[in-house]
Amino acid sequence: MHVGFVLNPIAGMGGRVGLKGTDEKVTEARERGAEPRAPQRAERALAELAERRPDAEVSTWGDPMGEQEARAAGYDPDVLGAPAGEETGSEDTQAAVSTFVDAGVDLVLFVGGDGTAADVAEALEGTDTPMLGIPAGVKVYSSVFAVSPEDAAYIVASYERTERREVMDIDEDEYREGEVNPELRAVAQVPVAEAMQSSKQLGGGTVEALAEGVANDIRAEPGKTYVLGPGSTVGTVKAELDFEGSSIGVDIWRDGEVIVKDATEEEILDELGEENVIVVSPIGGQGFVFGRGNPQLSPAVIRQCDVTIVASRAKLDGVSVLRADTDDPELDEGLQGWWKVRVGKFETRMMKLV
C-alpha cells in the first residue's frame, strides 16, 4: 500500500479561541494564543497506522506538512516536495496532492477541515485516487472524514472498496455571523467503512417544550454556572432564558445573567465555579456531542463540568449513536456509555456514546 500523506498545519487553530475557523485568521488566532491541533491528530493517526500497516509506503510533503509526523510514527517517508513559503496555503496542499498522484499513491490521507478537503478534491479531480480525511478543522461538514484519527488508520489499513461522497464547505465570514450555508464543492472517491462520518444534516423537529423544560431547570439551580453550547436547539434554550445567544458560539449564564457571550476556551475556564454544567446538543446526522463545531468546550472545560445533552426527537431519529472527539482519547473513552438525552419538557431518551 502506498499512501500520500499531507497535513494542513493551521487547521482548527481558530476554534478554541472563538474564531470559528482559521481561513484568513491565522495571525489573529496566534495573537489570541491558539496552538496547532492538526499535528497532534496526525501523529495519533499515523502511530495507529504504523501498528496496523508497518509495511505501508508513505510519501509526504516537507515540514510542517507531514514529514515530521510520518517519521515520528516510525516510517521512512519519501518527501516529494516542500511548502513554497513559511506560511502554508491551499496551493501547497494541491501541489502535494498532484505530486502524490504522479507518484502513483493508492490513497491520499490528509489532515484538516472542509477547506482542506476541498483543496484535496480539486487536485484529485479527473483521477480515480481516493481520499480520506483525519478531522482537525472547526468546520467538518463533508462526508470524506473518518470519525477519529484512529478510525482513519483503521480504514486505510482495511478498506476494500470506495464510493463517491460529497465535499462540502461554508463561507467562514458568514459562519461567524451565524449563517450556515453549506456549498457542494466536489464529489470524491472515499473508502467505504462504518468509521466514516456522514454529512452534517441541518434541521429537526420542534424544540419549544424541550427548551422550556431545560430553562426551568436552569433557573431552579442558583449558583451554578451554565456553559451553553452552539446550535439551534441550545439556541432555543437561550431564548427561553430571555437572551439572544451566539448561534454558533458558546455563552455562559449564571444566576439570571449572561456572563460571557461567544466565549473562548480561556474565558470559559476563567468563569467556571464550584458547580458547572455544559448544555450541548449533538450534531444532526453525525451525533457528535463534542469535537465538531464546539472546540471551545475543550477537555479542560469538560472535566470541570457536568454535561446535559438535549435534542429534539426528530434529530435523534436520524442519529444511531452519540460521538465525542475531543483531542483527548482518555476523555473520549471516559465519556463512552449510555446517556440520558433530554427530548422534551420532562422526557428523556437513552442514547449510547461510542
- Do 154 and 25 sit in the same domain of this protein? yes
- Do 235 and 105 sit in the same domain of this protein? no
- The whole-chain average pLDDT of the chain stands at 88
- Do 120 and 251 sit in the same domain of this protein? no
- Do 95 and 235 sit in the same domain of this protein? no
How far is residue 67's CA from residue 78's CA, in Å, rounded to a whole number? 9
Number of domains in the chain: 2
Tens of pLDDT, residues 234-269: 999 999 999 999 888 999 999 999 999 999 999 999
Q: Within a domain: residue 85? A: yes
Q: How confident is the model at residue 45 (pLDDT cuts 50, 70, 90)?
A: very high
Give the per-residue pLDDT at 128.
Answer: 95
- Do 319 and 270 sit in the same domain of this protein? yes
How far is residue 344's CA from residue 354's CA, in Å, rounded to a whole number? 23
Q: Is the pLDDT of residue 270 over 50?
A: yes
Average pLDDT over residues 326-343: 94
Q: How confident is the model at residue 138 (pLDDT cuts 50, 70, 90)?
A: low
Tens of pLDDT, residues 275-297: 999 999 998 878 999 998 899 99
Q: Is the pLDDT of residue 17 over 80?
A: no
Q: Are 132 and 152 in contact (CB under 8 A)?
A: yes
Q: Within a domain: residue 196? A: no
Q: State the residue range of the domain holding 322.
A: 208-353
The phi and psi torsions of 212 (rounded to 5 degrees) equal: -60, -45
Give the per-residue pLDDT at 247.
Answer: 80
The phi and psi torsions of 237 (rounded to 5 degrees) equal: -65, -45
Q: Within a domain: residue 197? A: no
- Do 164 and 216 sit in the same domain of this protein? no
Average pLDDT over residues 338-352: 91
Please give the single-letter amino acid code of residue 40. Q
Q: Is the pLDDT of residue 116 over 60?
A: yes
